[in-house]
Amino acid sequence: MEFQWTRKDLLSLYDLEPREIEFILDTAAEFKKVSQRNVKKVPALRGKTVVNFFVEPSTRTRVSFELAEQRLSADIVNMSAGTSSLKKGETLLDTVKNIEALQVDLVVMRHSAPGAQDFIARHLTCGVVNAGDGAHAHPTQALLDIFTIRERKGSIKGLNVTILGDILHSRVARSNIWGLLKLGANVTVAGPATLTPREFESIGVRVCHDLREAVADADVVNLLRIQHERQTAGFFPSIGEYAKFFGINSDTEKYLKPDCIIMHPGPINRDVELSSEVADGPRSVILEQVTNGLAVRMAVLFLVAGCVKR
């Protein structure tokens, strides 16, 4: 029997079965073909309304969702916290309940508080898509990362994927870890001991604090941004020291296998996580990730919108 998508929300990859992740990826592959056509638009969400509610800054995710909604022919409203009544003390729940009262079908939300989207999804009949919640989850980023790996490497099962950098503060790392483990990859997290907690070992992730060892057998190295804004303590002595011991540049690139690809969710700190030669070099699939994000978000919006009961 053909697989049937049944969720009105996409909150985290932790919640999903492997076949659900694969179904999103397969649906995204179909939507990618739409973006390669002369006419890049389909009527899949015609008559549906989507509110993009970003309570935290974003470039890639916000633009990508907005474009995905346009390509699906949805009606769109963009809201930011600074210009909403949250500023006047309205609660988040009251704000989103008011949005829902306008017969909105989907809310795409980014919020700095982990769990904010799970909380509103429990109170709304419209669909909720998590566009990143604090250091908890960023499911569409992980899906686009996994889509890009699958496109480049053929499948995920058995691949060695190293996630390098600020794991402690990273929703991208957490979502990638859940998605990749569910699809059978071997996952290593690496970086300074202060940013790569040993706790990840309990879920089957290898934890490594030596760059050379961490990347030696990697098929994929996904570099994460040093998140200055989330760091409340000095997790390493200096940015220069981080770049020296954990940056990928023309010196350290030689530790990688010849066919190892380099990923980064953006925004990049050039000459910190990676040098420009690597970011813009032949191993880099960073802009492919961005392109694939559009197809993945079209797929997610299409699937969840189909499960909103009105």
Residues 284 and 278 sit within 8 Å (Cβ to Cβ): yes
Site track for ligand CP across 19-48, x = CB under 6 A = ------------------------------
Min dist CB 69 to ligand CP, Å, is: 15
Say how far residue 216 (Cα) sits from the centre of its chain: 25
Q: Give the shortest CB-138-to-ligand CP separation in angstroms.
A: 6
Binding of ligand CP by 266 (CB under 6 A): yes
- Among candidates 280, 260, 258, which has minimal Cα distance to 270? 280
The residue from 14, 34, 58, 119 that contacts ligand CP (CB under 6 A) is 58
Nearest to 296 by CA among 158, 154, 148, 169: 148
- The bridge status of strand 220-223 relative to strand 206-208 is unpaired
Q: Is 179 in the site for ligand CP (CB under 6 A)?
A: no
Smaller CB separation from ligand CP, 207 or 272: 272
Q: Report how far residue 263's alpha carbon sits from residue 143's, in angstroms, rounded to the nearest whole number.
A: 13
Q: Which tokens hold the place of 218?
A: 């990697």
Binding mask of the shown chain, residues 79 to 118, with x at each position contacting ligand CP by CB under 6 A: ----------------------------------------
Could you give the string, one character per residue 124-153, with x where binding to ligand CP holds by CB under 6 A and - elsewhere?
Answer: --------x--------x------------
Segment contacting ligand CP by CB under 6 A, of 22-30, 58-66, 90-98, 277-285 = 58-66
Tell me which stretch binds ligand CP (CB under 6 A): 4-12, 79-87, 263-271, 275-283.
Answer: 263-271
Look at residue 210 and give its three-state secondary structure: coil
Binding of ligand CP by 276 (CB under 6 A) = no
Smaller CB distance to ligand CP: residue 29 or 63? 63
- Between 35 and 58, CB nearer to ligand CP: 58
Q: Does 165 bind ligand CP (CB under 6 A)?
A: no
CA distances from 303 to 10, 23, 27, 120 (A): 10, 10, 9, 19
Backbone angles phi, psi at 248, to 5 degrees: -100, 120
Question: Where does the chain have alpha helices with state H?
Answer: 18-35, 60-71, 92-100, 116-123, 139-153, 171-182, 211-215, 239-246, 276-279, 286-305
**What does the binding site for ligand CP look like in residue numbers (CB under 6 A)?**
58-61, 132, 141, 265-267
